[in-house]
Chains A and B, each alone.
Chain A
Amino acid sequence: MLEVESLTTRYGSISALRDVGLSVGAGEVVCLIGPNGAGKTTLLSTISGLLNPVSGSIRLENEEITSWSPDRILRSGLALVPEHRRIFGDLTVDENLLVGGVTVASARRLELKEEVISLFPVLGEKLATEAGYLSGGEAQQLAIGRALMSEPKILLMDEPALGLAPVLAEVVFELIDQLRQNGQTLLVVEQNARRILEVADRGYVMRSGNIVISGDSDELISRDDLFETYIGKTDSNHD
């Protein structure tokens, strides 16, 4: 479904991604973990067209989408739930969902809205509320629901559980699990490595702009060096 090859991106003068490659197959849930500043968000931003890579290629269903504009990439079937959600706070929940479906025909848009509401009943109750007044958990559901409105072939999520209390974060993970069962292809960036690995099929671990480890979830979760990639080697100061 999604193939990324030797992608290099500069962000300002940082070389934020160095020769990154990954792939996501149809129906797969793949997660991307690693410490802050490893380049995960940069990678998702580059794939979805917000940043232009210096070199490398991104293919969606064998179509080269490198350096396309974000709206064109969305139209070809790749949606992103951005970091910090970025829902439109001045718009109502209803309008947020409609904007999410701006690329689909209007009749289909209304059907999709019903589908999303059945997936997130709380949004149905608050359709007329301005999204800025939603709680963190509701806002996250709206961000995901809004992205689903474009019927993406593959959905990218950037830290969907960020800033949520553990109970609400759990709701997000259950939701990811449910999307997986619906056959949705997903690429998820997440802090909570253990929890996301329980849900995902495969994972990639990034550090300093590189993918340093990759493998099946079961394999990754049992690796001892995982914590080290987060916080650096600690052995130099062992007493």
Chain B
Amino acid sequence: MSKELLQSRLITLIGPISIFAVLVLGGLLYASFGGSARDGLITQMLINAIIVLGIQIYVGNTGVLSFGHIGFGAIAGYAFAICAISPTRKNSQIPDAPFGLSEVDLTPFQSVLISILLTVIVAFIIGLGLARSGARSGSVAATVITLALLFVVHEVAKNWIDLTRGGKTGLSFSPLGNVTLQGRGWIYIALLLAMITARLFKETRLGRLAQAAREDDLAARAVGIDPAVQQMVSLLLSVTIVSIGSSLRVFELGSINPRLFFFKFTLLTLTMLIVGGRNSVTGAIVGVVIITAGSEFTRYLAGPSVDMAALDWILRSGLTDIFLGASMLGFMIFKPAGLLGDWELDNWLKKFIPKKETEEREQSRVGKDQIRDLQSLKVEGVVVDFGGFRALDKAEIRATTDEVVGLIGPNGAGKTTLLNVITGVVESNEGALTVNGKSIEGLQPHMIARAGLVRTFQNLRLFHLLSVRENIEVARLASPDAKTRLGTDTIEQLLHLTGLNDLSNRRARELDYGNARRLELARAAAANPLFLLLDEPTSGMSDHESEAMIHQVRSVASLIGAGVVVIDHDLNFITGICDRVYVLDQGRIISTGSPEEISRDEKVRVAYLGGS
């Protein structure tokens, strides 16, 4: 890790540490003015915060809505309880426990480790299933799988009486469960650990790749990200934190039963996460505090100490549940990103830390002396049928890394389909695709990207919530090759070449159309392609902008030493940039040659204007 990176990570830590301090001091202060009830409340809040942070790591970074985390919590809680309860107590509660578990005698610390291990193994299996189901932000199948997990665990806990003592009584540590303060020190440590983990994960390579896939699954694959890997790591890390929190929760309460980790707790934790802002670690904590306070307040209002006859219709038991449900619903309808969106305290604090001007950057290894050997892309005899419609009919193009090749043709000619075939988004019925003689057929889009073909999208698919710079950085981090070949200075150069350096901290969704197009170009380039495949890079641009784009595309391509295949309809642009042009009409290549030759070809004129 470079010194600079280490320093920036340390600064990042200011955020979670100061929030931790405020939370703990505030809690202690509040508790010191009240009896043990307040004490218990604060302890519970801190534990809930750990669990919510755990959920945030997965839901926030991947965008997959999980109802299963409390199910993982139940597994962890039971594993912890069964390990940590003393054999004497176990023999009276679950004398018939399988695998001789009733004789196991472990310290709470050992039990937490076992509970993490077991839960992570289960999570790994579930994670494989999620990956197979093609989980991505908002995907239904993934949410239902996690929901099913919550139910399965609940059913097992209720019915495997030999192990869990069933649903009625549950397992308990001591008759009264009076262990409230024993775990405090551990709770502080675990909370601090959870905050630091959640916050740093957001900044790590894997975290960023996960966020990119959350913003746009297809675009992420197109720069070489395999979302399944990111999601799995997020899940395992997230479940580890949830396991710790759940074990503490059981320890703190002194007992466990199936209802403790079921729908109600799911509602509570998810509401906390959503109210604060699921993409923000700071937000998760803010949500925990607000919802805890709100729940307490509604509980107080609905309790016996408030007696207002006129409001009796609303001040009654159940008010707390309404508060939770309505908060979730209200935020989803009016402010789905939560209070903080993805705002982080440390990012805000960083503004006040003076920046050193002399920043050392990793030097790019791409220099004039490091130009790659000539490489080639061959597309031969590609046929694509959509139903009865033949979108491509033996289309072929060739390109080498030292040239810019254009692909033009009227609307519906099959240009984008050809690009989709090359990048693995659409399957072809016939044909051969090779990069440097190596076949890339049947590869997943992210493997094709890593094989050197990176595309842009006609209808703009940026990672909207990420900043301009982050969009480019993520692409550089996506594949191992890109990271080693292109240094961090490449990012600056790309920002400079595309004229985005003044906008580098803006969110991608705030960009106007032309800049968004240029960012697509820079992002694709940062993935270190052999060939940049550009789908209508100038569409929607003014004539002036598209003229400037000629130079921009060329200089970006030569910076990274890539060839270019570009689809466009503006012959002005095509003429200015291309060495060679293919004309596609009705799925067939009808003409090839230099731009001048093309513009004089009668077949091309007919293809565009019709007639004969």
**What residues of A have a CB within 8 angstroms of the CB of B609 in the complex?**
192-194, 226-227, 230
A231 touching B540 by the CB < 8 A rule? no
B605's closest neighbor in chain A, by CB? Answer: A227
Chain A, interface SS category: loop
B610 touching A195 by the CB < 8 A rule? yes
**What residues of A have a CB within 8 angstroms of the CB of B605 in the complex?**
227
What CA separation (Å) do A236 and B574 show in the bound complex? 12
**What residues of B have a CB within 8 angstroms of the CB of A232 in the complex?**
570-573, 575
Contact stretch, chosen from B24-32, B208-216, B511-519:
B511-519
A165 touching B586 by the CB < 8 A rule? yes
**What residues of A have a CB within 8 angstroms of the CB of B408 in the complex?**
231
Does B599 belong to the interface (CB within 8 Å)? yes
What CA separation (Å) do A203 and B313 show in the bound complex? 68
Q: How many residues of A contact B (CB 8 A)?
A: 33
Does A151 belong to the interface (CB within 8 Å)? no
B575 touching A162 by the CB < 8 A rule? no
With beta carbons under 8 angstroms apart, the residue of B389, B573, B608 that contacts A163 is: B389
A83's closest neighbor in chain B, by CB? Answer: B411
**What residues of A have a CB within 8 angstroms of the CB of B512 in the complex?**
13
B612 to chain A, nearest CB (A): 8
B582 to chain A, nearest CB (A): 15
The A190-227 residues at the B interface (CB cut-off 8 A) are 191-196, 208, 226-227
B412 to chain A, nearest CB (A): 5
**What residues of B have a CB within 8 angstroms of the CB of A152 in the complex?**
none
B387 touching A132 by the CB < 8 A rule? yes
A192's closest neighbor in chain B, by CB? Answer: B610
**What residues of A have a CB within 8 angstroms of the CB of B431 in the complex?**
none
B608 touching A37 by the CB < 8 A rule? no
What CA separation (Å) do A239 and B543 show in the bound complex? 22
The contact size tier of chain B is 20 to 34
B415's closest neighbor in chain A, by CB? Answer: A36
What CA separation (Å) do A37 and B415 show in the bound complex? 14
The B577-591 residues at the A interface (CB cut-off 8 A) are 586
With beta carbons under 8 angstroms apart, the residue of B387, B516, B575 that contacts A234 is: B575
Residue among A36, A37, A196 having the largest count of chain B Cβ atoms under 10 Å:
A36
With A194-B610, A208-B543 as known contacts, state yes or no: A13 contacts B516, CB within 8 Å. Answer: yes
What CA separation (Å) do A13 and B511 show in the bound complex? 8
Residue among A16, A196, A208 having the largest count of chain B Cβ atoms under 10 Å:
A208
A35 touching B511 by the CB < 8 A rule? no
**What residues of A have a CB within 8 angstroms of the CB of B575 in the complex?**
232, 234, 236-237
Does B217 belong to the interface (CB within 8 Å)? no
**What residues of B have a CB within 8 angstroms of the CB of A37 in the complex?**
536, 539-540, 569
The A25-64 residues at the B interface (CB cut-off 8 A) are 35-37
A227 to chain B, nearest CB (A): 6
A162 touching B412 by the CB < 8 A rule? yes
**What residues of B have a CB within 8 angstroms of the CB of A237 in the complex?**
575-576, 595-596
A233 touching B572 by the CB < 8 A rule? yes
With A16-B540, A195-B611 as known contacts, state yes or no: A239 contacts B511, CB within 8 Å. Answer: no
**What residues of B have a CB within 8 angstroms of the CB of A231 in the complex?**
408, 569-572, 599, 608
What CA separation (Å) do A196 and B610 show in the bound complex? 9
B513 touching A12 by the CB < 8 A rule? yes
A14 touching B387 by the CB < 8 A rule? no
User: When each residue 525-553 of chain B gets 1 if its CB lies under 8 Å from chain A and 0 otherwise, what string results?
Assistant: 00000000000100110110000000000
Does B410 belong to the interface (CB within 8 Å)? yes
A10's closest neighbor in chain B, by CB? Answer: B513
**What residues of B have a CB within 8 angstroms of the CB of A233 in the complex?**
572
Residue among A132, A136, A232 having the largest count of chain B Cβ atoms under 10 Å:
A232
B513 touching A239 by the CB < 8 A rule? no
A172 to chain B, nearest CB (A): 12
A-B CB contact pairs (8 Å), 8 listed: A13-B513, A36-B411, A162-B412, A227-B609, A230-B571, A231-B408, A232-B570, A237-B596
Lowest 10 CB-CB distances: which A-B pairs, in order?
Answer: A192-B610, A232-B572, A194-B611, A231-B571, A37-B539, A36-B569, A14-B540, A194-B610, A232-B571, A14-B513
